[in-house]
């Protein structure tokens, strides 16, 4: 076990020997007024590998994205693994490699970790828990409460790809869709937005519960209404088709690389232009607007000119989507 | 599920509403030369509740202790839960309450968290992963490489209680021992030691693999020998008895509140006196000394005057001890 850990995990994350505890310095953190951002998530996605990613990629991206949407510059990650006895070592190697690659892309370091092994049948292959530390620059203060009437709602691309990809990958729907998860880091995209649109009010990463859940949370926290346009929603034809067959609403499907931004009207164009120059923001588009009335309510103007309420998700979410 | 999370977890950890991501400030972190300490561990202990603690207590103490033995003042923790569907809610409440109590005792705040649910049989009741952030003051630099010949090896109390308590609690040994885990936070004890013995070279928390593993790691890292005295080892009669029956060596049994310190000879008495005034250090005692020869080798003078090598643990450790 010691050898396995050393070889599979430590050798990739800390080629030059690692202490159990990381001791770190960052000038950005000692700037007066800078704040530390700290977040964690466990990942239990099933299947562990899917089109567009694996549990390792999703763990790194998910934590980087949590930090980024809060306005933080992601710096350091921890990675803790719970392994089922007998899990294929080649699988672990692929997961670790994909974490290292994603961390490099995002400009963060995985600086501390842990592995625990449980008996067969006591866990499902591998669970990964990451925590992340970042620094929020002195003047930056993104928060839901800042969102106000007139703000434009922007997303960085098509919706629901992750949820649809996982559903298809499970195979129990007998669907053979060619959908790839949108799993990606959003740190660089967030920096581009903040530079181009410094008035950015708030940002969210639309994961479990999809865009609908994010919109409802923000509407509630800011005490505003939000109105989106069905015809503006960017959806892949395959995802739309799958949703029709299965009776799902793509607004509630999970994403793993989808940014929802609330931008003052006069900076919306600047934000969109800047976003479209980045890989993760190529398909950025405005999907709606914040309205003064009906605090806490999200509505959608449908393709047929009607209006319907987009509620908080009721009932079960898809299990083990991330 | 949303209600469950809100009620069981958020209500205890963040009575006044929590953001998914914590945004924190600490003056200590902006001091020039201060470093940030960052560590993580997953906990899969079986049984989840045992004499002297539960998986929540062990998760908070373990992470606090990792930070403390590196010289860091523990500040903030994250807590991520993987729950098996159908896990008893009353159990979760007890775990959360014990985490909150332990965090309070240690003077840390649990500032961010996550819960994931997996199907029945896909995890064993509950796994907890904590990460911790602390600050290491500018001049403090504890590390194994500083340990040198002549240093005194000190422990804060009896050895092996956690391992023995878990073994007994599993019940499969038909042992009815009355042993309580030593699970406890060591932050305050570490501060007392550093104040009394500022020359402290290095400290370790002897968990999985016991005191023997810590001694071997330090001997190897510092390139020194370490000699301990069998007659000086503080052992509870019940633990000694259990080890004799089962053929176990208490030096390899896990602890969850046991500090191993390496102190310059002229400060050893001061360290011991200071430690003995604290609850966690009441039974502190010197168990050996660092020797110049035989780099990397740990030896024990036995009760009968002989000498034996105390090797790194070979083979399987007790599974799911923490």
Pick from B32, B72, B112: CB nearest A40: B112
Using CA atoms in the order B15, B17, B23, B27, what is the torsion angle rounded to 10 degrees?
-40
Q: What is the pLDDT of residue A232?
A: 97
DSSP A123: B
Per DSSP, the residues of A125-154 read: SEEEEEEEEEEE-TT----GGG--TTPEEE
Question: B253 in contact with A at a CB cutoff of 8 Å?
Answer: no
- The per-residue pLDDT for range B86-122, each reduced to its tens digit, is 999 999 999 999 999 999 999 999 999 999 999 999 9
Q: What whole-number percentage of chain B has pLDDT above 90?
A: 81
Residues of chain A in contact with residue B126, where contact means CB-CB under 8 angstroms, are none
Q: What is the pLDDT of residue A318?
A: 80
Q: What is the pLDDT of residue B8?
A: 87
- The per-residue pLDDT for range A241-289, each reduced to its tens digit, is 999 988 899 999 999 999 999 999 999 999 999 999 999 999 999 999 9
Among the residues of A187-304, which ranges form H helices? 187-196, 210-222, 237-246, 265-276
- The per-residue pLDDT for range A102-152, each reduced to its tens digit, is 999 999 999 999 999 999 999 999 999 999 999 999 989 999 999 999 999
ipTM score assigned to the predicted complex: 0.94
For each of the domains in chain B, give its residue range(s) and CATH number, in order of start: 2-17+27-136 (3.30.1330.10), 144-309 (3.90.650.10)
Residues of chain B in contact with residue A20, where contact means CB-CB under 8 angstroms, are 39, 66
3-state secondary structure of A261: strand
Question: A128 in contact with B at a CB cutoff of 8 Å?
Answer: no
Q: Do B23 and A37 touch (CB under 8 A)?
A: yes
Q: Which residues pair with A288 in a beta bridge?
A: A153, A228
Average pLDDT, chain B: 92
Cα–Cα distance list, A10 to A114, B223, B293 (Å): 10, 22, 30
* Residue B215: pLDDT band with limits 50, 70, 90: very high
For residue B94, what are its two tokens?
């007890």
Residues of chain B in contact with residue A133, where contact means CB-CB under 8 angstroms, are 36, 38, 133
Angle between helices A237-246 and A161-170 (to 10 degrees): 60
DSSP A183: -
Q: Give the span between the Cα atoms of A162 and B210, in whole angstroms.
A: 44
Q: How many CA atoms lie within 13 A of B68 on its CB side?
A: 27
Q: Give the span between the Cα atoms of B162 and B168, in whole angstroms.
A: 10
Of B94 and B9, the one with more pLDDT:
B94
Nearest alpha-carbon partner for A221 in A143, A315, A314 = A143
User: What's the per-residue H, E or C state across chain B?
Assistant: CHHHHHHHHHHHHCCCCCCCCEEECCHHHHCCCCEEEEEEEEECCCCCEECCEEHHHHHHHHHHHHHHHCCCEEEEEEEEEEEECCCCHHHHHHHHHHHHHHHHHHCCEEEEEEEEEECCCCECCEEEEEEEEEEECCCCCCCHHHCCCCCEEEECCCCCHHHHHHHHHHCCCCCCCCCCCCCCCCHHHHHHHHHHCCCCCEEEECCCCHHHHHHHHHHHHHCCEEEEEHHHCCCCHHHHHHHHHHCCCHHHCCCCCCEEEEECHHHHHHHHHHHHCCHHHCCCEEEEEEECCCCCCEEEECCCCCEEECCCCCCCCCCCCC
Residues of chain A in contact with residue B140, where contact means CB-CB under 8 angstroms, are none
- C-beta of residue B41 within 8 angstroms of C-beta of residue A79: no
Q: Do B41 and A320 touch (CB under 8 A)?
A: no
Q: What is the pLDDT of residue B319?
A: 87
Q: Give the span between the Cα atoms of B272 and A33, in whole angstroms.
A: 41
Q: What is the pLDDT of residue A304?
A: 93
Q: What is the pLDDT of residue B17?
A: 44
Cα–Cα distance list, B190 to A202, B5, B93, B194 (Å): 41, 34, 30, 6
- The per-residue pLDDT for range B32-91, each reduced to its tens digit, is 888 999 999 999 999 999 999 999 999 999 999 999 999 999 999 999 999 999 999 999
- C-beta of residue B125 within 8 angstroms of C-beta of residue B87: yes
3-state secondary structure of A289: strand
3-state secondary structure of A239: helix
Cβ within 8 Å of B, A 64-103: 66-67, 69-70, 72, 76, 78-82
3-state secondary structure of A200: coil
Residue A13 has pLDDT above 60, yes or no: yes
For residue A53, what are its two tokens?
């990613």
Q: Do A72 and B21 touch (CB under 8 A)?
A: yes
Vertex A258 angle, CA A256 and A264, to 5°: 155
Q: What is the pLDDT of residue A176?
A: 66
Q: Give the span between the Cα atoms of A32 and B60, in whole angstroms.
A: 30
- C-beta of residue A224 within 8 angstroms of C-beta of residue A292: yes
Which helix (H) or strand (E) segment holds residue A229: the answer is strand A225-229
Residues of chain B in contact with residue A1, where contact means CB-CB under 8 angstroms, are 316-317
Residue B15 has pLDDT above 60, yes or no: no
Average pLDDT, chain A: 92
- C-beta of residue B134 within 8 angstroms of C-beta of residue B67: yes
* Residue B172: pLDDT band with limits 50, 70, 90: low
Q: Which residues of A217-228 are buried (b: 16+ CB within 10 A; e: fewer)?
A: bbbebbebbbbb
Q: What is the pLDDT of residue A9?
A: 86
Q: Give the span between the Cα atoms of B148 and B222, in whole angstroms.
A: 7
Name the residue of chain A whose CA is nearest to B208's CA: A116
**CB neighbours of residue B14 within 10 Å:** 17
- C-beta of residue B166 within 8 angstroms of C-beta of residue B321: yes
Q: What whole-number percentage of chain A has pLDDT above 90?
A: 81
* Residue A17: pLDDT band with limits 50, 70, 90: very low
For residue B114, what are its two tokens?
């996550």
């Amino acid at each position: 076990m010691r050898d396995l850990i050393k070889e599979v995990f430590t050798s990739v994350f800390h080629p030059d020997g690692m202490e159990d505890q990381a001791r770190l310095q960052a000038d950005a953190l000692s700037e007066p007024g800078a704040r530390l951002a700290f977040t964690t998530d466990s990942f239990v996605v099933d299947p562990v590998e899917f089109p567009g990613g694996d549990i390792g990629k999703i763990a790194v991206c998910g934590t980087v994205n949590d930090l980024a949407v809060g306005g933080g510059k992601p710096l350091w990650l921890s990675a803790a693994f719970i392994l089922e006895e007998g899990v294929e070592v080649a699988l672990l190697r692929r997961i670790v490699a994909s974490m290292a690659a994603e961390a490099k892309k995002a400009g963060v370091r995985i600086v501390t970790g842990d592995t625990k092994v449980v008996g067969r049948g006591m866990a499902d292959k591998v669970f990964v828990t990451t925590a992340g530390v970042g620094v929020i620059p002195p003047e930056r203060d993104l928060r839901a409460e800042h969102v106000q009437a007139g703000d434009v709602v922007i997303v960085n691309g098509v919706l629901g790809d992750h949820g649809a990809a996982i559903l298809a990958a499970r195979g129990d729907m007998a669907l053979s869709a060619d959908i790839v998860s949108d799993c990606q880091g959003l740190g660089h995209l967030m920096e581009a937005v903040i530079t181009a649109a410094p008035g950015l009010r708030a940002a969210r990463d639309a994961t479990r519960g999809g865009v609908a859940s994010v919109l409802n949370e923000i509407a509630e926290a800011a005490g505003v209404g939000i109105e989106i346009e069905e015809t503006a929603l960017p959806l892949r034809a395959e995802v739309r088709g799958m949703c029709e067959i299965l009776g799902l609403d793509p607004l509630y499907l999970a994403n793993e690389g989808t940014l929802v931004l609330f931008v003052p009207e006069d900076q919306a164009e600047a934000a969109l232009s800047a976003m479209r120059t980045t890989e993760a923001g190529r398909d950025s588009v405005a999907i709606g607007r914040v309205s003064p009335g009906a605090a806490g309510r999200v509505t959608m103007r449908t393709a047929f000119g009607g209006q319907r309420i987009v509620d908080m998700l009721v009932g079960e979410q898809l299990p083990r989507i991330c």
